[in-house]
């Protein structure tokens, strides 16, 4: 058999259809891609501006998305409780790089025990919870604070992964083998040590968000939460109430027995002969329908 007869060496004659499949991103890939896109938007919208302290670089996108304590409490811009988690420090690439790497590896472990829809809800809820914890703390101790970064939500994912796979080994810094439970304990220690050493106020924004995310992941596991089920029940109950209100009937004359039905039918028929069928009211039409049903019932 010649080489030209082998299927894998034949040239395309133009008659066979080539099919190209575009791989779809998982929810994990979409979260990472969206976060990177927001980071690029931060960089693109960065410019210099004059301030009382001198010339500063300000990002317009970051100014609208970061978790600003004054903006939330004074202007009511509550969307920042979520959008801050997609922003990162423009001056430190390691900030976004470490968060996305941790999200990728820990997220794959979590996706082995929950579906993609639940993972998305869990990540977003973890971001909101961590942001809320940090916001409330800064409200009293640093009222002008600005918070950004996915660390809280990422640590919620890492915590849930460690709770499901406590003895799973990972390489810390790509070198040191460490079980997930000890990796989580290390993160907790790094966030609690500043409190014990009296240096809490130096970087409380990051520590409170981190601890908030860890707490959310722990409670999610401990209480066996299922956010999508709660949401479906909430939406389903709301739709059911709307449907019941929409089907409510205050008056249903067709189901009400009419006295002197024959006399009323005669009057209605006379009205039809004089004024036409279009002159009938809804009640009169219901009486005719009831009389028709009664007549069919008597014939059986």
Interval 231-269: pLDDT, tens: 888 887 767 677 666 655 544 444 444 456 777 878 888
pLDDT in the model for residue 293: 76
Q: How far apart are CA 233 and CA 241, in angstroms?
A: 12
Lookup: tokens for 160: 């849930």
* pLDDT class of 16 with cuts at 50, 70, 90: very low
Average of per-residue pLDDT across 99-108: 95
pLDDT in the model for residue 201: 53
* pLDDT class of 161 with cuts at 50, 70, 90: very high
Average of per-residue pLDDT across 181-191: 91
Q: Which long-range contacts (CB under 8 A, 24 or more apart) does 111-116 make?
A: 111/26, 111/27, 111/28, 113/164, 115/228, 116/26, 116/27, 116/28
Q: How far apart are CA 288 and CA 258, in angstroms?
A: 11
Is pLDDT above 70 for 282? yes
| Burial of residue 135, with CB atoms counted within 10 A of its CB: 0-12 exposed, 13-18 middle, 19 or more buried | buried
- Comparing 228 with 234, the larger pLDDT belongs to 228
* pLDDT class of 60 with cuts at 50, 70, 90: very high
Q: Of 1.10.8.60, 3.90.79.10, 3.90.1150.10, 1.20.1540.10, which CATH number belongs to 27-229?
A: 1.20.1540.10
Average of per-residue pLDDT across 218-237: 88
pTM (2 decimals)? 0.71
Is pLDDT above 80 for 110? yes
* pLDDT class of 291 with cuts at 50, 70, 90: confident
Backbone phi, psi, residue 29, to 5°:
-65, -35
Which sequence spans correspond to the domains of the chain?
27-229, 253-299
- Comparing 180 with 19, the larger pLDDT belongs to 180
Q: Return the number of other C-beta atoms located less than 10 Å from residue 179's C-beta.
A: 15
Q: Return the number of other C-beta atoms located less than 10 Å from residue 264's C-beta.
A: 17
Is pLDDT above 70 for 68? yes
Which stretch of 6-15, 87-96, 187-196 has the lowest confidence by average pLDDT? 6-15
Give percent of the chain above pLDDT 70.
77
Give percent of the chain above pLDDT 90.
50
pLDDT in the model for residue 236: 76
Average of per-residue pLDDT values in the chain: 82
Closest Cα to residue 85, out of 182, 162, 155, 8?
155
pLDDT in the model for residue 109: 95
Which stretch of 87-101, 122-136, 216-230, 246-260 has the lowest confidence by average pLDDT? 246-260
């Amino acid at each position: 058999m010649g080489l030209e007869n082998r299927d894998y060496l034949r040239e395309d004659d133009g008659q066979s259809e080539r099919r190209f499949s575009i791989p779809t991103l998982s929810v994990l890939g979409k979260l990472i891609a969206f976060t990177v896109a927001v980071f690029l938007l931060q960089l693109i919208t960065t410019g210099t501006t004059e301030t009382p302290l001198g010339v500063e670089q300000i990002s317009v996108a970051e100014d609208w998305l970061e978790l600003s304590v004054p903006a939330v409490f004074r202007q009511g811009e509550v969307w920042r409780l979520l959008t801050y988690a997609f922003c990162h420090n423009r001056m430190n690439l390691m900030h976004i790089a470490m968060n996305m790497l941790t999200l990728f590896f820990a997220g794959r472990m979590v996706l082995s025990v929950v579906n993609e829809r639940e993972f998305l809800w869990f990540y977003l809820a973890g971001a909101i919870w961590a942001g809320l914890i940090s916001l409330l703390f800064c409200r009293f101790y640093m009222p002008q604070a600005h918070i950004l970064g996915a660390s809280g939500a990422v640590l919620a994912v890492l915590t849930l992964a460690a709770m499901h796979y406590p003895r799973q080994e990972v390489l810390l810094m790509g070198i040191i083998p460490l079980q997930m439970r000890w990796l989580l304990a290390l993160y907790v220690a790094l966030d609690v040590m500043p409190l014990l050493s009296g240096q809490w106020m130096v970087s409380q924004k990051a520590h409170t968000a981190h601890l908030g995310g860890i707490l959310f992941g722990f409670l999610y596991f401990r209480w066996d939460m299922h956010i999508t089920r709660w949401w479906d029940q909430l939406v389903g109950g709301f739709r059911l109430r709307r449907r019941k209100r929409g089907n409510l009937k205050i008056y249903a004359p067709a189901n009400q027995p009419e006295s002197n039905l024959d006399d009323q039918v005669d009057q209605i028929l006379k009205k039809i002969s004089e004024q036409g069928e279009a002159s009938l009211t809804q009640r009169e039409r219901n009486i005719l329908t009831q009389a028709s049903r009664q007549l069919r019932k008597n014939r059986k």
